[in-house]
């Protein structure tokens, strides 16, 4: 099928590229601002405005390419009787957000398909988004942080980057992104049986911070390798907005999530159901959303940890001696369970908050001995495995202060941090002659069950994906 998207929008192009066979994208170069101004002067209903704009775009390209199917799309933000366009300045953005904060606005998305310079199909969708209330100070901080991302977006926000701004959303992910891909594909398939396109599935990794995450690189590689319609994105979600943000994203059609610091324990509590492993660990790193919006929690961290150790250090045996785990967060819980299940005879657990460590030891096993954080070095001569599950040593985080001089050279050291790939802890251990295992392998292996659950394909862990993630 000869198909043209009358837009150069990266978001729309990416969605179409994932969903259907190759197409062309051509910019229609219409004067949207003045067309909208003219339509408003004529008291055109807001619902019709994006329809007119989408038709302008499709018709203009169709006159030059009459034998092609041409899709024009447009979207406006309607609020309190006004159409909010792209903010012209930081101050204008703050003014817009001050008006919308705590209230509901509409995104109206129109899709029009032309052929032979004639309209063949149209579809318009309304999405209703309610923002949280925000103070002037919060809005100013948002404007300064996100201006470069939102200055070309109607109303001054990119939903895909900051869904935590919204308390409730009624709509569909793709309508909000500006193209009603499911309906577009339904129409095209009715007119060309060769079209095998499919609505992409969207999965997100949620954390704070999240910019370091390699998960999108990994999952997008597997999507492309297996020719699956879908995308995997990273979203930074503040801790206090985590549960509601998951609900909002599930409501708009997101298929699932990976969850990282600091949300893993809360991820388990918000779920409608959970696996036995997630329940045993008391935290979740993987969430599946079914067609009814129900959320099921799983934890694949322990699986990923053990698979990484076995793949990268065949000499380590659980019975070889004691282990020390640094940290007591969601990842540490999974590691403790996996070590106990594997048969490690004793585990020393040390965390900056000793009470948290003691709570885990009491919950999991008498084989776990809690060590004061300032005295963790004293246990090093007694262990054969050292694991850092904290964020210490991560890029832009404080260093992990530990002296490994008393650690046996036969000991194995691994760090769940993978940005940088070789952390200062691993560098120090390697210089002493110890074997090390980086955290990137755990990242890859823990992602396999999630990918299989979301997309229905078991991805391969090979040198290609390892090289890609460590590049």
Q: Which residues are catalytic?
A: 264
Sheet holding 347-351, edge to edge: 368-372, 347-351, 322-326, 383-388, 412-415, 435-437
Instruction: Please report where in the chains the tokens 């988004």 appear, as a residue.
Output: 129
Both tokens of 327, joined, read: 């940290």
**C-alpha count within 13 angstroms, C-beta hemisphere, residue 266:** 18
Q: How many Å apart are CA 175 and CA 107, to the nearest integer?
A: 8
**Residue 244: helix, strand or coil by DSSP?**
helix
Distances (CA, A) of 100 to 77, 104, 165: 11, 7, 11
Are 433 and 407 spatial neighbours (Cβ–Cβ below 8 Å)? no
Residue 276, both tokens: 């036995």
Helix (H) or strand (E) holding 465: helix 463-470
Return the H-helix or E-strand segment holding 331.
Answer: helix 330-342
CA separation for the pair 392, 351 (Å, rounded): 11
Q: Please give, one letter per residue, the 3-state secondary structure of 105-133.
A: EEEEEEEEEEECCEEEEEEEEEEEEEECC
By the 10 Å C-beta count (0-12 exposed, 13-18 middle, 19+ buried), 140 is classed as middle
Distances (CA, A) of 86 to 29, 32, 108, 154, 375: 17, 11, 15, 4, 56
């Amino acid at each position: 099928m000869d198909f043209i998207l009358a837009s150069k929008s990266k978001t729309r192009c990416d969605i179409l590229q994932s969903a259907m066979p190759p197409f062309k994208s051509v910019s229609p170069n219409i004067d949207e601002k003045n067309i909208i101004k003219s339509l408003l002067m004529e008291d055109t209903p807001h619902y019709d405005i994006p329809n007119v704009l989408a038709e302008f775009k499709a018709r203009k390209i169709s006159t030059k390419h009459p034998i092609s199917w041409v899709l024009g799309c447009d979207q406006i933000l309607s609020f309190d009787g006004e159409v909010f366009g792209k903010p012209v300045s930081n101050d204008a953005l703050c003014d817009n957000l001050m008006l919308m904060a705590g209230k509901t606005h509409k995104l109206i998305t129109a899709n029009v398909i032309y052929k032979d310079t004639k309209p063949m199909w149209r579809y318009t969708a309304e999405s209703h988004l309610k923002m949280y209330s925000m103070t002037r100070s919060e809005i100013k901080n948002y404007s300064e942080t996100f201006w470069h991302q939102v200055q070309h977006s109607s109303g001054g926000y990119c939903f895909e980057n900051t869904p935590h701004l919204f308390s409730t959303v009624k709509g569909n992910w793709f309508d909000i992104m500006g193209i009603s891909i499911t309906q577009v594909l339904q129409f095209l398939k009715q007119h060309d049986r060769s079209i095998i396109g499919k609505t992409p599935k969207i999965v997100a990794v949620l954390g704070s911070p999240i910019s370091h995450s390699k998960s999108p690189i990994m999952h997008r590689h597997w999507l492309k390798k297996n020719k699956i319609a879908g995308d995997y994105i990273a979203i930074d979600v503040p801790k206090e907005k985590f549960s509601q943000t998951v609900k909002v994203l599930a409501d708009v059609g997101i298929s699932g999530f990976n969850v990282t610091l600091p949300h893993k324990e809360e991820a388990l509590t918000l779920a409608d159901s959970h696996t036995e492993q997630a329940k045993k660990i008391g935290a979740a790193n993987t969430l599946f959303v079914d067609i009814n919006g129900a959320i099921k929690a799983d934890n694949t961290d322990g699986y990923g940890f053990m698979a990484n150790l076995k793949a990268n250090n065949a000499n380590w045996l659980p019975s070889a001696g004691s282990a020390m785990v640094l940290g007591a967060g969601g990842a540490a819980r999974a590691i403790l369970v996996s070590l106990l299940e594997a048969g490690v005879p004793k585990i020393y657990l040390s965390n900056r908050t000793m009470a948290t460590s003691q709570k885990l030891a009491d919950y999991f096993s008498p084989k776990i001995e809690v060590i004061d954080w300032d005295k963790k070095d004293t246990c090093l001569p007694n262990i054969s495995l050292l694991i850092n599950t904290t964020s210490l040593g991560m890029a832009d985080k404080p260093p992990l202060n530990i002296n490994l001089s008393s650690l046996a050279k036969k000991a194995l050291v691994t760090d769940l941090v993978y940005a940088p790939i070789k952390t200062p802890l691993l560098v120090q251990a390697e210089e002493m002659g110890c074997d090390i295992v980086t955290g990137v392998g755990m990242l890859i292996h823990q992602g396999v069950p999630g990918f299989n659950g979301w997309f229905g394909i078991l991805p391969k862990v090979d040198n290609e994906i390892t090289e890609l993630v460590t590049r």
